[in-house]
Homo-oligomer: A and B are copies of this chain.
Amino acid sequence: MNIKLENFYKVCKQHGLKLTPQRIEIYRVLLESKEHPSAEMVYEKIHQKFPNVSFDTVNRTLNTLNDIGAAFIVEGSGDVKRFDGNCSNHQHYKCVKCKKIFDFSHENFDNIHVPEILAGDFKVLRATVYIEGLCKSCQEQK
C-alpha cells in the first residue's frame, strides 16, 4: 500500500470525509501527475478509466483536497486553476505563454521567514516564491 495513499485515508477520516472510489481515484491521478493539472485535465484522465464520473465531482473533490491540505492550488496570475498534490516544500515557475508549470527548489526559498509584522496579524497558511516568464521553447518560437 502506497504510504501517501494510506496517509490520505487518515486525513480524510480526520476531516470526516468518506472514502469514495471517486475521491481516491482523483487523488491518485493528481499524485501521479507531474503537470500540475487543471480540473479539466484530471477529468480527462479519470474519464478514460471511469467514464461515468462527472466533471463536477472531479472539480469539487480537487477543491476539497485543497481545503483539507492534501493538495493545493498553484499560484498564478489569472489562468485556469491548477492543482498540485505534492505538498512537500517547493516552488513554481510558470511560462506565461504555454502555461507550463515547473517545479524547482532552492534552500532560501523553501524556508521563507515571514516578517514579524505579518506573523503577528495574519495566520500564514502558505508562503511561496512565484516566478513567471518564458520557457526555453517559447523563447525560441519568439
Contacts and interface: CB of A to CB of B under 8 A. Distances in A.
A40 interface: no
Nearest to A138: B123
A129 to B, nearest CB: 6
* Copies of chain A in the complex: 2
B118 A104 contact: yes
B131 A118 contact: yes
A21 interface: no
Interface centre among A74, A122, A127, A131 (most CB of B within 10 A): A122
A112 B108 CA distance: 10
Given A77-B81, A81-B78, A139 B123 contact: yes
Interface in A120-137: 121-136
A73 interface: yes
B123 A134 contact: yes
A1 interface: no
A114 B126 contact: no
Interface in A94-119: 95-96, 104, 106, 108, 112-115, 117-118
Contacts of A81: 77-78
A125 B118 contact: no
Interface of A: 72-78, 81, 93, 95-96, 104, 106, 108, 112-115, 117-118, 121-136, 139
